[in-house]
Amino acid sequence: MPYDSIVCVKQVPDTANVTAEVMKADGTVNRAALPAIFNPEDLHALETALEIRDAYGGTVTAISMGPPKAAEVLRDCLYRGTDRAILLTDRRAAASDTLATSYILSQAIRTIGRYDLVFCGRQAIDGDTAQVGPQCAEKLGIPQITYLERLIELSGDTVRVRRNVGHGWEIVEAKLPVLVTVLETANRPRPPAAKRVMRLKRARVQPELAAEVRNEMPQAPEEQLAAEVQCRAGALSRRGLLLEQWMLDDISADLARCGMAGSPTKVHRIQAIVLKKEGYSEIPPTAEGARHLIHELVVDRTLG
Amino acid sequence: MMEPNRQGEVWIFAEQEDGALHDVVLELCGKARQLADELKVKTGAVLPGDGVGPLAAKLIAHGVDTVYAVDDPRLSHYQAGSYARVLTTLVEKHRPQIVIYGATALGRDLAPRVASTLRAGMTADCTDLEISDVTDAKTQQVHEKLLLQIRPAFGGNIIATIVNFAQWPQMATVREGVMPMQPPNYTRTGKVVRERVELSPADLALRLIERHTEPRKVNLKGARVIVAGGGGVGSKENFKLIYELAGAIGGAVGASRAAVDSGYIGKEHQIGQTGTTVRPALYIAVGISGAVQHRAGMEESAKIIAVNKARDAPIFSVAHYGIVGDFKQVLPMMIQALKEKQ
């Protein structure tokens, strides 16, 4: 029996590999300088969906919410084998917290319509909240199964999953449709397929075309730019290379629930972590040094 | 959506499994007590489960004024749907101003679902909570006595303070091990309110087939002394020296993510943003460079000793004592010095 899956993916700054180049002089991280990558756990969510399609048939649709640049991760999804990729990009969605984000994603999923399974990575490495998956499930009115480490079986309208519960695991079963969040231990994501890369590398969303045209023809008047974008979009569309782009109006979103307006949590203050340069007592790497150190710890009652 | 209710109680979610409260719940009790005292309101604990009544006394001893116990055989095993129904029903009924949860695997599965139903704010994985007046930068309106929800973000590279002006209750999950557990006082009095919550079949959508859990063998959170090894230790063999020093000093063994990823030691030993957060009396970091993710999990330790070959390793920036040298020579000398002490 074929199953239709939707996978939510996110482009994130690579916060795990903060190198010296992105450190500012004051010891804080220059966030804008971090490379943008495919959120690691989302790749495992995608692989889970692709494996289901390989085994049972059906379709895989990838959706991503973000700026036009996020089309990069959607192209990556297509290279790895998704049937369809949709970018949700709209300035009015900027500054959405997890509640607003999950509302927008759930509206997009409703707009897609038919699905058996929704997959998300457990969490994104820029926020580490792990909230968007469960909140999407709630908004869609379907059960959530978080922390998938193994998809055991799909049979008829039932899925059976082994999930990690921190200090062990449990196997649970649920009727479809369900939303599942996936851990890195679940599988090994397949690489992009060379043939698909060749065929799809020119795929673009319209805002990317606009940026390209503006870059190539900096002197041209607005009407000419617009006409050129239309022309290129038409050409891509005829070859099936114009990526789908949805705005909030396309998913019947209530604007009061999107972006800043729809976000109850507000960032009050941001403090960059600064590498403290306070002094420490340097102990020489000698037997005498070790004795001195242990003595100090006894004297100040750190060691009883 | 709920409006701010400044007379509302400060609540915790009392996570339990097989009749035992999770440690983090007792940590939350102390914090909730402190927040409630500042706000001059009472504390409450939501305690769902099957046969959980006996746990109420422990919650009260740790500072809870009212335990809302929901005893139902269908709640014997946790699932997001049924537990979220319990929380949303009781929050709508009693309108607390704050609800905090442990940032455990379970808490992080449950809390966002509750927030979504209530259309309330939710901040994950806080490392501190405070009460303060906050001025809305946009409207210049002063909001009195808000909950400041403080958490690392961006891979631990920044600390963000989150607030919630409207759409209450103010809710957060709190990382395990960061709030000190207060000693219980069994002479404290409180009340137990038995609540009944309607559950629909949709709330019980998951069927548990099999479950296998192990008690946490490595008690990093409870350890007074931790000796932790990093990628610089170089091999599983070399980790024996870490164990020897831990044995000599009477401490537990920890590790950085680099050591765990390299397979030198099991993940249950991992300290840092993605592992356990610890604040022992003494932390000895051996061959750990001190990435922000690791420091986030240990820099609250009372005393930190760093042993590292590289003088410019970031770990020295949080250390009280630093030894620049090869741990293979330094650790045996420390073990020897400890033996001489006795």
Q: Are residues B185 and B275 in the same domain?
A: no
Per-residue pLDDT of chain A (304 residues; tens, 9 = 90+): 999 999 999 999 988 776 666 766 665 667 778 889 999 999 999 999 999 999 999 999 999 999 999 999 999 999 999 999 999 999 999 999 999 999 999 999 999 999 999 999 999 998 889 999 999 999 999 999 999 999 999 999 999 999 999 889 999 999 999 999 999 999 999 999 999 999 999 999 999 999 999 999 999 999 999 999 999 999 999 999 999 999 999 999 999 999 999 999 999 988 876 654 467 889 999 999 999 899 888 877 788 6
In CATH, what number is assigned to the domain containing residue B255? 3.40.50.1220
Between chain A and chain B, the number of residue pairs with CB atoms below 8 A apart is: 244
Indicate which of A106, A268, A275 best probes the interface with B, i.e. most B CBs within 10 Å of its own CB: A268
In CATH, what number is assigned to the domain containing residue B196? 3.40.50.620
CB contact (8 A) between residue B209 and residue A296: no
Identify the helix (H) or strand (E) that includes residue A43: helix A40-56
Residue A58 lies in a domain: yes
At B265 the three-state DSSP class reads coil
Q: Would you list the DSSP string of B175-226?
A: -TTSSPPPPP-TT---EEEE------GGGG--EEEEEEE---S---TT-SEE
Residue A303 lies in a domain: no
Q: What is the mean pLDDT of residues B210-232?
A: 85
Query: Is B120 part of the contact surface with chain A (CB cutoff 8 Å)?
Result: yes
Please state, in angstroms and rounded to a whole number, the distance separating the CA atoms of residues B122 and B134.
Answer: 18
pLDDT given at position A277: 45
Task: Kindly report the nearest CA distance between residue A44 and chain B, in angstroms.
Answer: 18
Which segment, A24-33, B21-30, B173-182, is predicted with the most confidence on average?
B21-30
Query: Is B145 part of the contact surface with chain A (CB cutoff 8 Å)?
Result: no
User: What residues in B contact A267, CB-CB < 8 Å?
Assistant: 160-162
Q: How many domains does chain B have?
A: 2
Quick check: B133 and B145 in contact, CB under 8 A? yes
Residue A231, φ and ψ in degrees, nearest 5: -60, -50
- The runs of H, that is alpha helices, within A58-150 are 71-80, 98-112, 132-140
- Minimal-distance CA residue of chain B relative to A103: B116
Name which residue leads in pLDDT, B166 or A301. B166
Residue A282 lies in a domain: no
CB contact (8 A) between residue A28 and residue B157: yes
Indicate which of A126, A157, A165 best probes the interface with B, i.e. most B CBs within 10 Å of its own CB: A165
Q: Are residues B187 and B268 in the same domain?
A: no
> Which domain range does residue B285 map to?
225-341
Residue A286 lies in a domain: no
Q: Are residues B182 and B257 in the same domain?
A: no
- Please state which of the ranges A20-34, A52-66, B130-144, B296-310 shows the lowest mean pLDDT: A20-34
pLDDT given at position B302: 87
What ipTM is given for this predicted complex? 0.89
Rounded to the nearest integer, the mean pLDDT of chain B is 93
pLDDT given at position B221: 78
pLDDT given at position B180: 77
Q: Which of residues 173-192 of A touch B (CB under 8 A)?
A: 173-175, 178
Q: Are residues B200 and B59 in the same domain?
A: yes
| Residues forming beta bridges with residue B284, ordered by sequence position | B227, B305
CB contact (8 A) between residue A31 and residue B157: yes
- Please state which of the ranges A8-22, B7-21, B73-87, B220-234 shows the lowest mean pLDDT: A8-22
Say yes or no to pLDDT of B298 above 80. yes
Say yes or no to pLDDT of B191 above 90. yes
Residue A52, φ and ψ in degrees, nearest 5: -65, -45
Query: Is B220 part of the contact surface with chain A (CB cutoff 8 Å)?
Result: no
Q: What is the mean pLDDT of residues B129-142?
A: 94
Q: Are residues B149 and B264 in the same domain?
A: no
| Residues forming beta bridges with residue B159, ordered by sequence position | A271, B152
| CB-nearest partner of B165 from A141, A266, A282 | A266
Domain end residue (candidates: B204, B235, B267): B204
Query: Is A138 part of the contact surface with chain B (CB cutoff 8 Å)?
Result: yes
Identify the helix (H) or strand (E) that includes residue B56: helix B56-61
| CB-nearest partner of A287 from B106, B303, B333 | B333
Query: Is A113 part of the contact surface with chain B (CB cutoff 8 Å)?
Result: no
Q: Are residues B190 and B295 in the same domain?
A: no
Which segment, A11-20, A59-68, B145-154, B277-286, is predicted with the most confidence on average?
A59-68
Q: How many domains does chain A have?
A: 1
Residue B217 lies in a domain: no
Burial class (CB in 10 A: 0-12, 13-18, 19+), B342: exposed
Residue B77, φ and ψ in degrees, nearest 5: -110, 135
- Beta strands in chain B, from DSSP E residues, in sequence order: 10-13, 16-17, 20-21, 43-49, 66-71, 98-102, 123-126, 128-135, 142-153, 158-164, 170-174, 191-194, 207-213, 225-229, 252-255, 282-286, 303-308, 321-324
Q: What is the mean pLDDT of residues B176-191?
A: 88
At A260 the three-state DSSP class reads coil
Quick check: B306 and B332 in contact, CB under 8 A? no
> Which domain range does residue A167 map to?
3-205+243-257
| CB-nearest partner of A102 from B81, B116, B325 | B116
User: What residues in A contact B23, CB-CB < 8 Å?
Assistant: none
Domain end residue (candidates: B175, B204, B233): B204
In CATH, what number is assigned to the domain containing residue A252? 3.40.50.620
Q: What is the mean pLDDT of residues B315-321?
A: 92
